[in-house]
Chain A
Amino acid sequence: MMELIDLTACQAAERIRRREISPVELVEALLARIEAVEPIVQAWETVDREGALAAARKAEHSAGQSGTGPLHGVPLTAKDIFFTAGMRTTSGSPLFEDFVPDFDATSISGLRAAGAILMGKAVTVQFAHHDPPRTRNPWNRERTPGGSSSGSAATVAARMVPAALGTQTGGSVLRPASYCGVVGLKPTYGRVSRYGVTPNSWSLDNVGIIARSVEDTALLLQAVAGPDPRDVTASSVPTGSYLEAARRNGRAPRLGFVLDYLDRANPDVAANSREVAARLERMGAEIRDVHLPRPMEELTALRSLIATVELASVHAATFDANPDKYGPALRESVEVGRLIPAAAYIQAQRLRRRWRPEVESMLEGVDCLLMPTVNNTAPGPNTTGSSAFQAVWSVFGLPSITIPSGLSEERLPFGTQLVAPAFQEETLLSAAAWCEAALEPMPAPEVR
Chain B
Amino acid sequence: MRLDRPKEQIEQELLVQARDTWGAERVEALRHIIGDAAGWISLIGRYKLGIHEEEPDYLVAPEPNREAR
Q: Which residues of A contact B (CB under 8 A)?
A: 188-190, 203, 227-237, 297-298, 301-302, 304-305, 308, 328, 332-333, 335-336, 338-341, 343-344, 346-354, 397, 422-423
B54 at the interface (CB under 8 A from A): yes
In the assembled complex, how far is the CB of residue B24 from the closest CB belonging to chain A, in whole angstroms?
Answer: 13
Q: How far is the CA of A331 from the CA of B25 in the complex (A)?
A: 14
B65 and A233 contacting across the interface, CB-CB below 8 Å = yes
Q: Mark B29-68, 1 if CB is under 8 A from A, else 0.
A: 1100110110111011101010001100111011111011
A301: which of B43, B53, B67 is its contact (CB, 8 Å)? B43
Contacts of A347 in B (CB 8 A): 3, 44-45, 47, 49
B65 and A229 contacting across the interface, CB-CB below 8 Å = yes
Q: Which bucket holds chain B's interface residue count?
A: 35 or more
Given the interface pairs A297-B43, A298-B44, A301-B44, the reply to whether A189 lies near B61 with Cβ below 8 Å is yes
Please name the residue on chain B nearest to A328 by beta carbon. B29
The 3 residue pairs across chains A and B that have the minimum distance between CB atoms: A233-B61, A349-B58, A235-B63
Q: How far is the CA of A203 from the CA of B64 in the complex (A)?
A: 12
Do most interface residues of chain B lie in helix, strand or loop, or is the interface mixed?
helix
Please name the residue on chain B nearest to A234 by beta carbon. B65
Contacts of B29 in A (CB 8 A): 328, 332
Q: How far is the CA of A46 from the CA of B41 in the complex (A)?
A: 40
Q: How far is the CA of A297 from the CA of B58 in the complex (A)?
A: 21
Q: A-B pairs with CB below 8 Å: how many?
A: 114
Contacts of A335 in B (CB 8 A): 18, 21-22, 26, 30
A-B contact pairs, 26 of them (CB 8 A): A203-B61, A232-B68, A234-B65, A235-B61, A236-B63, A236-B67, A335-B22, A335-B30, A336-B18, A336-B34, A339-B18, A339-B21, A340-B37, A340-B41, A341-B1, A343-B1, A344-B45, A347-B3, A348-B44, A349-B58, A350-B53, A350-B54, A353-B54, A353-B57, A422-B62, A423-B63
In the assembled complex, how far is the CB of residue A1 from the closest CB belonging to chain B, in whole angstroms?
Answer: 46
Given the interface pairs A232-B65, A298-B43, A301-B43, the reply to whether A339 lies near B17 with Cβ below 8 Å is yes
Please name the residue on chain A nearest to B59 by beta carbon. A349
A190 and B62 contacting across the interface, CB-CB below 8 Å = yes
Please name the residue on chain B nearest to A300 by beta carbon. B40
Please name the residue on chain A nearest to B47 by beta carbon. A351
Contacts of B37 in A (CB 8 A): 304-305, 308, 336, 339-340
Contacts of A237 in B (CB 8 A): 63
In the assembled complex, how far is the CB of residue B66 from the closest CB belonging to chain A, in whole angstroms?
Answer: 8
Contacts of A231 in B (CB 8 A): 65, 68
Given the interface pairs A297-B43, A298-B43, A336-B30, the reply to whether A351 lies near B49 with Cβ below 8 Å is yes
In the assembled complex, how far is the CB of residue B3 from the closest CB belonging to chain A, in whole angstroms?
Answer: 6
Contacts of A340 in B (CB 8 A): 37, 41
B54: which of A305, A308, A354, A422 is its contact (CB, 8 Å)? A354
Q: How far is the CA of A190 from the CA of B54 in the complex (A)?
A: 22
Contacts of B18 in A (CB 8 A): 335-336, 339
Q: How far is the CA of A348 from the CA of B41 in the complex (A)?
A: 9
Contacts of B68 in A (CB 8 A): 227-232
Q: How far is the CA of A339 from the CA of B36 in the complex (A)?
A: 13
Given the interface pairs A189-B61, A235-B65, A236-B65, the reply to whether A332 lies near B33 with Cβ below 8 Å is yes
Contacts of B67 in A (CB 8 A): 236
Q: How far is the CA of A232 from the CA of B68 in the complex (A)?
A: 6
Contacts of A349 in B (CB 8 A): 58-59
In the assembled complex, how far is the CB of residue A353 from the closest CB belonging to chain B, in whole angstroms?
Answer: 4
In the assembled complex, how far is the CB of residue B2 from the closest CB belonging to chain A, in whole angstroms?
Answer: 9
Q: How far is the CA of A57 from the CA of B5 in the complex (A)?
A: 65
